[in-house]
Amino acid sequence: MLEIRDLHASVDGTPILKGITLTVNAGEVHAVMGPNGSGKSTLAQVLAGHPAYEITGGEMLYNGENLAEMDAEVRAQQGVFLAFQYPVEIPGVSNAYFLRAAYNAKRKAQGLDEVDPMEFLDLVEEQLKLVDMDPAMLHRSVNAGFSGGEKKRNEILQMAVLTPSLAILDETDSGLDIDALRIVANGVNALKRPENATILVTHYQRLLNYIVPDYVHVLAGGRIVKSGGKELALELEARGYDWLLEAVA
């Protein structure tokens, strides 16, 4: 589904990603771990198409197509979804309107009819339960004044509505208490399908107790310095990142 080969990316001329190679197949869950500043969010944003990042080398193929040539909105319409580490507040745009616009944009790209507000409310009702969210939240502005946990749940709600093929979750677990973490993890698990794939970016092993990854990768200094199975996460939890960083230094 996703093939990243020797990917290099810079921001404002500063190289951040320095040769990432990663293959993600349908049905797989990949955890990307690593210390702060190692480039995890950069990788996530580059995959989603943030214009501030310049791709200076390598390639990203999504279902055989060159991701770099697609605008961010096209990637999303084709099934790429990024749950932001820091979800953005949009005062003045209601959550319901925003979700429906996103949902309809995808339907339109697939040649399907758009749904009207009433149909959409019916459809979103189920997904609200999945993330244990009050329907009243639909009528508030996107993320404006939401607590940290509400913002993260709102990201999962968007994911549930948009049913992406490739979901990238950037530290969706950070800053969540255990109850919120369970809700988020349950949501992600419930949305898992054999034809979909998930990249979980996380700083802590804790999330992986709830969402079991097939592969774990450690990112440091803009490179993947180690890959392994789910047991690698436990080793990182026990030993920290330093031994790995020393090994590659």
Partner 1 sequence: MSTTLLAPALLSQATAAASAQAPDALRAQREAGARAFEQLGLPTTKVEDWHYTSVASLADASFVPMNGDASGVTAEQLAPYLFSTSWPTLVFVNGVHAPSLSTIDALPDGIRVLPMAQAMTTLGDQVARQLGTAAPADRDGFTALNASFLGEGAVVHVAKEMVVDTPVHLLFVTTDKGVGGMQHPRVLLYAERHAKATVIESWVGLTDGAYFSNPVAEVMVEDGATLNHLKIQREGRQAYHVSTIEARQGRDSHYVSFCFTTGGQLSRTNIYTVLDGEGCGTTLNGLTMLDGEQHGDVQTRIEHAKPNCFSRQIYKSILDDTSHGVFNGKVFVRDIAQQTDGKQTNNTLLLSKTAQVDAKPQLEIYADDVKCTHGATVGQIDQTALFYMKSRGIDADMSRQLLTYAFAAETLETIENETIRDELEGVTMRRFTSSD
Q: Is 82 in the site for partner 1 (CB under 8 A)?
A: yes
Report strand pairing: 53-62 vs 2-11.
Answer: antiparallel
Nearest CA to 57 out of 23, 122, 10, 119 is that of 10
- Residue 246: both structure tokens together: 């020393």
Phi, psi of 53 (to 5 degrees): -95, 130
Nearest CA to 11 out of 47, 60, 46, 36 is that of 46
Q: Is 146 in the site for partner 1 (CB under 8 A)?
A: no
Q: Is 71 in the site for partner 1 (CB under 8 A)?
A: yes
Interface positions with Mg ion (CB under 5 A): 40-41, 85
Toward Mg ion, which CB reaches closer, 85 or 172? 85
Binders in 38-77 for ligand ADP, by CB under 6 A: 38-42, 52
Q: What does 187 interact with, of partner 1, ligand ADP, Mg ion, none (CB < 5 to 8 A by kind)?
A: none
Distance CA 115, CA 76 (A): 18
* Closest CB 70 distance from partner 1, rounded Å: 11
Nearest CA to 50 out of 28, 73, 33 is that of 73
**Residue choice 12, 14, 88, 122 for contact with partner 1 (CB under 8 A):** 88
Binding site residues, partner 1, CB under 8 A: 48-51, 71-73, 75-77, 81-82, 84, 87-93, 97-98, 101-102, 105-106, 109, 141, 158, 162
